[in-house]
Chains A and B, each alone.
Chain A
Amino acid sequence: MHTPQPNYPLNPPLKHQNHQLRLALFGLSLCLLLSACGYPDANTTRELAERMVLEAFSGSPTHLKRIEQDPSQQLCSRINNAPISAADASTVLETARASIQYPASGVLMGDWKIGDTLAHDGAGDRIRNGKTEATTRNGGLCQNCHGLAPGEINVGNLGPSLTGYGKLRGTDPAIVKYTYDKIYNAWSVMPCSNMPRLGATGHLTPTQISHLVAYLLDQKSPINQ
């Protein structure tokens, strides 16, 4: 039986903290010396967890393909965000650069109005009861994570705010290409960024991405007002 503790301290009292920290660090180094204190090693954990993944999901082979990791996803899955080695980072970067495809038309800056709608569309490509969401095209998901036009309140903050993105940067071909590449494959600019590789994974088409580029860079776009 355990007695309830209504005011459980979230952190131990301050004066003990240093002592406890030192004790913990000592314990930790001891653990490392004695090889991980009875915890399974990294390979055993990976095997166990990967087996769990295989058993946990249902669906068609196309759906189940999504739980397989490509080599870059493997390199970018780092427990406790452990830093990635320079060699691995450049592998991810090079793979990402090689993945980028441009619209057949060669036009990287499309229609900002279509881009506006796409940027505010968070739907598409989700799976429920064995069926992929019935949409003619996937949304751009931008609003979920980025600040967009000035005054928009219903925007996320997982990524940096994009308000005024084009106002600051102009429409030079170099910035147009940079912006396109960043959306097509975010890891070509920053390896293992939290941002999905929207073009490279097939979530968005090259033409859709060109509309998002216009939404960000066109001086008439609401984002630049």
Chain B
Amino acid sequence: MENSRRHFLKSTCALVAGVSVYPLSRDQANADTGIRINNLKYAMLHDETKCIGCNACVEACREVNHVPEGVTRLSIEQSGPYGKYPNQYYHFSRHSCQHCEDAPCVNVCPTGAAFIDKENGIVSVNADKCVGCQYCILACPYDVRFINPVTKAADKCDFCRETNLKQDKQPACVEACPTKALVFGNLKDPESELVMLLKANPTQRTKLDLGTRPKLFRITAKQGEIIL
């Protein structure tokens, strides 16, 4: 009796441990095979040296994707001014979804409402599946997710996956940019403008140490001040 109980407890522990570790190992394996399936992986480049902070991108996004007032999928963060008059300038940096290859929001979503489109690498939200637990908002290191006050679901930039991309157009923000500071394209296409620019310029991505492998690149403007 005692022996069989011990045996039972042992095997149950082993089973629970196995079940909980299995999905983690499988996910790593899938990440590599997924890439080989197709030849499409969207990414974006923000050239901060060209950005003038006009917010045309923000308004275009709001209109095309019907984003309600009070929330936004993208914002341009301004800092400065740096330098002395008359040579003053501001820094503008784009604050929006980075479309991580290993997205924390997708990993934590209990229902699978947050997902990565295997066709093109876009991180997106299925509003119907979302229950609004806000775990993804908690987990996103880039703080780009919000609850859409109309759908009550988590929402964020999806590179206009549901709108402009379906009509074979560039994302709304890219089309609206007057200085061509935003470049959208396919990382798998070596001839694309995006890949050419990424190869020719020093670019940055934020919080790489977290292992999220983001796909929003930036050409940074000159520093303006020294921060240690």
Q: Do A and B come from one complex?
A: no
Binding site for A on B (CB under 8 A): none
